[in-house]
């Protein structure tokens, strides 16, 4: 493992925790939900009947495997398949299997902020598809965008599944899409999932299950701060709260202090005070429609070539090119 990169990630974690908890209102980034425990909790979330996103996107990729695979194929020079936020790769494996079974010339480059997820995926693929060339990397999206420009010798397909773009408000999403566009050549493709607007109760249920798995997932960020930064959060004194605005399509997650308290974070030499019912904003999960995705793409210098949806119309994967 790259020691320098790990040190940089640790420094970034400290900086962002300090900034977020010193602000008003307080906030923390959802990317820090993910460690070994967080990865397992997210696996449990994806298996919940209420969390429709995974099943809908799996249905899309299972139904349209050949069509999508052939969109990706380059018969002359092959391609680089680069996935941002690869996770456990469950859905991507449908495409990887098709591509390996049909003699695609390609390298799969999964990228994820979770070191645990990257190791598990790499080991699983070595067992399940031994002929597949895997070049994995640990890192977050914006870290790796500059390096993506180096993939310019042949076609590349950038894959972002799980509606991960939904963690960004529109201005940041446009910035992210613009940076992706700047790494792309004319023949390159961006294959990206966008969760669609739907019955508001369906959205709320997906992020606020009755069994408490999503609550545990959100609270894991406090557990991480306790463990990695020597803090003394009493995690049980926070409750998880979800809201959804159907007008803007924005779902928001919060941790709410159920009583007034003081927290000390030793490694940051920082004392934080909470009023009763004060919040920490942890995540947004943006929902979209075709009009919004078209606007985001155009603002970033991209155009939609085609899209695929599930039977219910809950979710869409869009294929985008550089204008």
**Hey, what domains does the chain have and what are their CATH numbers?**
3-49+200-286 (no CATH), 64-196+288-322 (3.40.50.150)
Q: Name the phi and psi angles at 285, rounded to 5.
A: -135, 95
Other Cβ atoms within 10 Å of 25 Cβ, number: 10
- The residues, ordered by sequence, that sit 6+ positions from 30 with a Cβ below 8 Å of its Cβ are 167, 221, 253, 282, 283
pLDDT at 150: 86
pLDDT at 87: 85
- The residues, ordered by sequence, that sit 6+ positions from 185 with a Cβ below 8 Å of its Cβ are 152, 155, 156, 322
| pLDDT over 60 at 1, yes or no | no
Where are any strands of DSSP class E within 167-301?
189-195, 238-245, 250-257, 261-265, 270-274, 279-286
| pLDDT over 90 at 212, yes or no | yes
Q: pLDDT digit string (tens) for 167-205?
A: 999 999 999 999 999 999 999 999 999 999 999 999 999
SS3 of 33, please? helix
% residues pLDDT > 90 (the chain): 86
Q: Band the pLDDT of 293: cuts 50, 70, 90.
A: very high
Rounded average pLDDT over 307-315: 98
Rounded average pLDDT over 306-311: 98
Asked if residues 188 and 114 have their Cβ atoms less than 8 Å apart, the reply is no
Task: Give the β-pairing of 189-195 and 238-245.
Answer: unpaired
In the block, residue with structure tokens 């902020």: 113
| pLDDT over 60 at 70, yes or no | yes
Name the more confident of 252 and 210: 252
Other Cβ atoms within 10 Å of 292 Cβ, number: 18
Q: Which helix (H) or strand (E) holds 83?
A: strand 79-84
| pLDDT over 90 at 214, yes or no | yes
For residue 253, give the nearest of 261, 269, 265, 242 by alpha carbon.
Answer: 242
Q: Band the pLDDT of 4: cuts 50, 70, 90.
A: low
pTM for the model stands at 0.89
Tell me how far apart the terminal alpha carbons of the chain are, to the nearest angstrom: 38
| pLDDT over 90 at 155, yes or no | yes
Q: Which CA distances in Å does 288 have to 74, 194, 219, 317? A: 31, 6, 27, 12
Rounded average pLDDT over 283-287: 97
The full DSSP string for 228-252 is: HH-B---GGGEEEEEEEETTTTEEE
Rounded average pLDDT over 255-272: 98
In the block, residue with structure tokens 């469950």: 90
Rounded average pLDDT over 225-234: 97
| Mean pLDDT score across all residues of the chain | 94
| pLDDT over 90 at 145, yes or no | no
The alpha carbon of residue 91 and the mean position of all alpha carbons in its chain are separated, in whole angstroms, by 14
Q: Band the pLDDT of 143: cuts 50, 70, 90.
A: confident
Least confident of 136-145, 213-222, 288-297: 136-145
| pLDDT over 80 at 2, yes or no | no
Q: pLDDT digit string (tens) for 19-39?
A: 999 999 999 999 999 899 999
Asked if residues 51 and 45 have their Cβ atoms less than 8 Å apart, the reply is yes
């Amino acid at each position: 493992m790259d020691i320098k990169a790990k040190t940089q990630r640790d420094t970034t974690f400290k900086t962002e925790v300090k900034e977020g908890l010193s602000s008003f209102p307080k906030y923390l980034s959802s990317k820090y939900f993910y460690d070994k425990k967080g990865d397992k909790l997210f696996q449990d979330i994806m298996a919940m009947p209420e969390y429709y996103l995974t099943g809908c996107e799996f249905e899309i990729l299972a139904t349209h495997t050949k069509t999508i695979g052939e969109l990706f194929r380059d018969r002359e020079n092959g391609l680089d398949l680069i996935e941002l936020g690869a996770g456990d790769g469950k859905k991507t494996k449908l495409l990887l299997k098709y591509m390996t079974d049909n003699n695609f010339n390609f390298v799969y480059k999964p990228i994820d902020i979770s070191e645990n997820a990257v190791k598990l995926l790499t080991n699983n693929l070595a067992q399940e598809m031994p002929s597949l060339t895997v070049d994995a990397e640990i890192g977050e999206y914006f870290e790796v965008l500059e390096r993506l420009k180096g993939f310019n010798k042949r076609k590349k397909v950038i894959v972002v599944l799980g509606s991960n773009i939904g963690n960004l408000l529109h201005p940041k999403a446009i910035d992210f899409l613009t940076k992706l566009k700047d790494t792309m050549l004319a023949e390159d493709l961006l294959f990206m999932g966008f969760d669609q607007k739907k019955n508001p109760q369906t959205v709320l249920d997906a992020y606020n299950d009755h069994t408490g798995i999503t609550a545990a997932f959100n609270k894991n960020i406090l557990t991480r701060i306790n463990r990695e930064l020597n803090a003394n959060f009493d995690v049980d004194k926070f409750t998880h709260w979800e809201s959804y605005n159907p007008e803007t399509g924005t779902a928001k997650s919060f941790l709410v202090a159920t009583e007034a308290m003081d927290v000390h974070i030793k490694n940051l030499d920082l004392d934080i005070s909470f009023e009763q019912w004060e919040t920490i904003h942890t995540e947004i999960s943006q929902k979209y429609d075709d009009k919004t995705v078209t606007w985001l793409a155009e603002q970033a210098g991209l155009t939609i070539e085609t899209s695929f949806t599930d039977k219910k119309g809950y979710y869409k994967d869009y294929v985008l090119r550089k204008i």
